[in-house]
Structure 1
């Protein structure tokens, strides 16, 4: 496209210049008393090609007019800014999570059902969940010890792969339910997420737009821990209530989800008595941080809990479109200038006329 297309009206001058040149092409003369001896002189190639100078001047003006119209190429750019949640999924993978639970007509372990539902919650299933495509999501697992399985990342396919690889603890000395440690580790990850985003944006800015400040593409709207357990806190370095208070101090909301029966039963995995679900503790943790507690005795209830969280933690995506233009007039201007210089040099040398 052209920034000043009206400049093409100047092309109307060119036919006028050609007409004037043809009409007033009077040559300078030198007086001779007798020109008979010049009548039979052959016409040289310089004389034949001298009119080229005029057409070079016309072409020079035409190129200059195109440059004046400022040709430029536009590239449509869409800048997407997202305000989403920084979210840690904290999953209990102690031995009691091996207890059976029905899911879509199949008998699976509680942990396998949790993995299925959480994966649908993150990537979307086309029915109940739209997917958390624009959020930063991390994964923490805990039994006797808490571990970071995946730090906060963008891209739901990455986190879903880690979720699929969660397994029950295999050693008896690793079994237990350290709810306080799980909360503390998840909260520590979330507390540092602003710095993580700042560092990512700084790298992108230095790599692409040096010296040009740019708004971050992702802003944290809320910090959330989704804590899932089927037991009570029975080990760990940190108290769950103190960990919840620390999370609240850092502006982190905790949604607690209790799975399974409130009654004690036999845990076939280690042949031990399965601890009861401490609903009072889970309620207190959620209340301290501004979240909520929900109980899920089956897969459908678990899906309903995650649907509720999905509706509460909404993501806002803002799209700003604009066109970035690259100026294309310099080659036209340079060609015009080069042609003008060539015409001047030719008229002063090989096509020089006397007088």
Structure 2
């Protein structure tokens, strides 16, 4: 019941002990006079004095509880801090139909393997803002930058070979990815390009891509499936201070994404947004009620 109950300023509660100490040891010294039969008078008023004394304590105590701001935590939301903006740039051209990339399941084509491995990678990037760009003859932004990992994994499941054509517009896809990242503020902006063929459909030259990536400080990690485009992928990675990788099997691809995962580390989440309900008005209301009774009894005497 009290698991989510706490105080915003608990040190105010320490003033209760200070009040008790002062009430006993810091009393003002006044002149005293002796009256005959004063004991009889004290007996008549003792009950009232006890109640007044109690009301004084309750007024002070509930006022200090109100000042300490009691709250009930309704929910906690983690705010992403120092995450990385990542665009997963994926080849869905016709050449991704080739089978045999997964030695344990020869019937899987290249895209089936990539699909599964990329989903696992997304799951690991808890702190990061991830977007999806796929390319064939043309380019499609499948998902804008988002922290919603579940939605992105669902989107990837529905992407298939040839969704944007059979050719390979690799350079155009990089231009699209750079355009998404160019104005984004983050610890790091990176593109992870995966392809298995030479560029056959782009209208934007490679020199422009490298120039834009350097201008906006965007790293482009490249993953080549097969040897056909190895040299170009090396150039792209080197020009953007990133790394280039080669994957000839599913195991290789898993290892590549694990390596990138280690190279581009995000800080641990440490900003927490608390959704809370303030309860200070309850003790404040009680302190006012006790104060009214205290004033009434004190003035009546």
TM-score by length of 1: 0.66
- Aligned match of 1:224: 190
- Is the contact between residue 255 and residue 286 of structure 1 (CA under 8 Å) also seen in structure 2? yes
- 3-state SS, counterpart of residue 151 of structure 1: strand
Q: Post-superposition shift, 1:82? A: 2.0
Q: Which string of whole-angstrom CA distances, capped at 9 and with x for unpartnered residues, describes residues 114-170 of structure 1?
A: 1111111121xxxxxxx1111000000000101100000013222211122210116
- 3-state SS, counterpart of residue 168 of structure 1: coil
Give the one of 64, 84, 93 matched to 2:59: 64
1:308 aligns with 2:259: yes
Q: Post-superposition shift, 1:80? A: 5.6
1:5 aligns with 2:16: yes
Structure 1 Cα separation of the partners of residues 59 and 115 of structure 2: 68
Structure 1 Cα separation of the partners of residues 149 and 103 of structure 2: 23
Q: Post-superposition shift, 1:318? A: 5.3
- Aligned match of 2:102: 103
Give the one of 274, 287, 290 matched to 1:336: 290
Larger radius of gyration: 1
- Aligned match of 2:231: 280
- 3-state SS, counterpart of residue 231 of structure 1: coil
Q: Is there any run of 5+ residues in structure 1 with no aligned partner, and where?
A: 14-21, 28-47, 124-130, 195-219, 263-276, 349-355
- For residues 322 and 192 of structure 1, do their structure 2 counterparts lie closer, same or farther at Cα, with a shift above 3 Å needed? closer
Structure 2 Cα separation of the partners of residues 117 and 322 of structure 1: 32
Q: Post-superposition shift, 1:70? A: 4.3
- Is the contact between residue 52 and residue 298 of structure 2 (CA under 8 Å) also seen in structure 1? no
Structure 2 Cα separation of the partners of residues 257 and 145 of structure 1: 20
1:139 aligns with 2:138: no
1:251 aligns with 2:212: no
- 3-state SS, counterpart of residue 14 of structure 2: coil
- Aligned match of 2:5: none
- Alignment map for 1:188-207 (pairs within 5 Å): 188-194=179-185
Q: Post-superposition shift, 1:8? A: 3.2
- Is the contact between residue 101 and residue 248 of structure 2 (CA under 8 Å) also seen in structure 1? no
- Is the contact between residue 11 and residue 65 of structure 1 (CA under 8 Å) also seen in structure 2? no
- Alignment map for 1:1-355 (pairs within 5 Å): 2-6=13-17, 7-9=19-21, 24-26=39-41, 53-67=48-62, 69-70=64-65, 72=68, 73=70, 82-103=81-102, 105-107=104-106, 108-123=108-123, 131-169=124-162, 174-194=165-185, 220-260=186-226, 262=227, 277-317=228-268, 319=270, 330-343=284-297, 347=300
TM-score by length of 2: 0.77
- Is the contact between residue 80 and residue 317 of structure 1 (CA under 8 Å) also seen in structure 2? no
- 3-state SS, counterpart of residue 100 of structure 2: strand
- 3-state SS, counterpart of residue 81 of structure 2: strand
- Is the contact between residue 144 and residue 176 of structure 1 (CA under 8 Å) also seen in structure 2? yes
- Is the contact between residue 92 and residue 163 of structure 2 (CA under 8 Å) also seen in structure 1? no
Q: Which string of whole-angstrom CA distances, capped at 9 and with x for unpartnered residues, describes residues 37-63 of structure 1?
A: xxxxxxxxxxx9x98754542332222
Root mean square deviation of aligned Cα: 3.4
Q: Post-superposition shift, 1:339? A: 0.5
Structure 2 Cα separation of the partners of residues 102 and 284 of structure 1: 25
- Is the contact between residue 8 and residue 69 of structure 1 (CA under 8 Å) also seen in structure 2? no
